[in-house]
Amino acid sequence: MIRPVLSDARRRILTAAASVALLVGTIAVMYRRIMYPPVPRLGEDRIRVAAVGDSNTYGAGVLFRGRARRAYPGRLQRILGDRYQVLNYGVNRRTLQRDGDWPYDETPHAAASLASQPDIALIMLGSNDARGDNWNPERYASELADFAERYRARGATVFLLTPPVAFENRRGVDERIIASEVAPLVRRVASDLHIDLIDVFEVTARTVTSHRDGIHLGARSSALVAATVAGAIRLSRRTPTPTP
């Protein structure tokens, strides 16, 4: 009489354990795909635009709302049209500074964005440099200049983007450092190197009153950034030809 009861209980335990293991495995796969998205595939005979950045380029603020379409690079693709290919090289949590806690340079996307031989490079890194103990203004300015020059050396038209405005948040990103130090340094480096500037901070600070979590662009603000970037590309003095 006892053995069948114990056997049934054991089966239930094993079934529950298997379900938990499957759930944990699924979550792990999803987390890895979110934190380390696939490197974009390259097309031919189109003007190649490499959108390089952190979670605001990746689209963390619209993660479960059609990220590929609603992140700013996806919206930019629709605005620019089929003559362009906008490649999203955004990776979550990443810093520009190589001594930061999660450096962008350590991702496959850093090398892939250069190897793609982009006609246009959009660089928006800096929000996570204002997180915790990451911030070092001298190092940030120096490394941003070096970072931009990598793409210029490969023939890309480079645009430096200030990070968007940030608000109080629980992720350790200091919104005051972004406003008073990161954004001004991006402007200064762009001026020093005679690189086109897209002042995402100024545009979002003027029109956006909040982000859902304090730092990530939502659907409306992503659309605003995409429209701003598209306008800057179209007004640029240098019109690239499609990459064969």
Express as a percent the part of the chain with pLDDT over 70: 84
Question: How does residue 30 score in pLDDT terms, banded at 50, 70 and 90?
Answer: low
Cβ atoms of 97 and 139 within 8 Å: the answer is: yes
Phi, psi of 214 (to 5 degrees): 100, -20
Single-letter amino acid, residue 164: P
Q: What pLDDT does residue 41 have?
A: 84
Give per-residue pLDDT as tens, 55-75.
Answer: 999 999 998 878 999 999 999
Per DSSP, the three-state class of 86 is: strand
Per DSSP, the three-state class of 87 is: strand
Q: What pLDDT does residue 239 have?
A: 54
Cβ atoms of 212 and 61 within 8 Å: the answer is: yes
Q: What pLDDT does residue 12 have?
A: 73
With b for 16 or more beta-carbon neighbours within 10 A and e for fewer, the 188-226 pattern comes to ebbeeeebbbbbbbbbbbeebeebeeebbbbbebbbbbb
Instruction: Say which range, 20-34, 41-55, 149-163, has the weakest mean pLDDT.
Output: 20-34
Question: How does residue 43 score in pLDDT terms, banded at 50, 70 and 90?
Answer: confident
User: How many whole angstroms separate alpha carbon 175 and alpha carbon 65?
Assistant: 25
Mean confidence (pLDDT) of the chain: 89
The answer, yes or no, to whether residue 44 has pLDDT greater than 60, is yes
Cβ atoms of 56 and 164 within 8 Å: the answer is: yes
Give per-residue pLDDT as tens, 90-129.
Answer: 999 999 999 999 999 999 999 999 999 999 999 999 999 9
H helical segments located in the chain: 2-35, 55-58, 67-70, 72-80, 108-115, 137-153, 175-177, 183-193, 200-207, 219-235
Which residues does 153 contact at the CB level (< 8 Å), separation at least 6?
A: none
Assigned token pair, 163: 């990070």
The answer, yes or no, to whether residue 130 has pLDDT greater than 50, is yes
Q: Which residue has the tokens 């890194």?
A: 125
- CA 192 to chain CA centroid, Å, is 24
- Cα→Cα distances 89→92, 111, 137, Å: 10, 10, 24
Give per-residue pLDDT as tens, 171-224.
Answer: 999 999 999 999 999 999 999 999 999 999 999 999 999 999 999 999 999 999
The answer, yes or no, to whether residue 78 has pLDDT greater than 80, is yes
